[in-house]
Amino acid sequence: MTISSRKNHNIFAKRGADIDDMEVVEQFGLDPALAYTHEINAAAADAQMKDNIANGMDEKEAKRVRDNIVRAATRLM
């Protein structure tokens, strides 16, 4: 794992995990321009929501989970 000297904004790093924003970009197939920006969490939450729905989660529940992630990430900023 290569860690950048840029500031990570992903929710995992904000909670103390050693996870670089580029790892989140790769995990969720996000645009690399989102790395090291506050927008990474909403984009990752959107990608996770779509994946949850594709895997059978009720759309309303998937949106609730997404909203909770975004709220939590916002509080950590």
**What pLDDT, on the 0 to 100 scale, is given for residue 1?**
46
Residue 5 lies in a domain: no
- Nearest Cα neighbor of 42 from 57, 58, 24 is 24
Which domain covers residue 25, as residue numbers?
Answer: 11-76
Residue 53 lies in a domain: yes
Residue 36 lies in a domain: yes
Residue 52 lies in a domain: yes
Query: How far is it, in rounded angstroms, from Cα 65 to Cα 50?
Result: 11
For the entire predicted model, the pTM comes to 0.86
Residue 3 lies in a domain: no
Residue 49 lies in a domain: yes
Query: How far is it, in rounded angstroms, from Cα 22 to Cα 37?
Result: 11
- Nearest Cα neighbor of 6 from 17, 20, 16, 19 is 20
User: pLDDT tens across 15-47, in order?
Assistant: 999 999 999 999 999 999 999 999 999 999 999
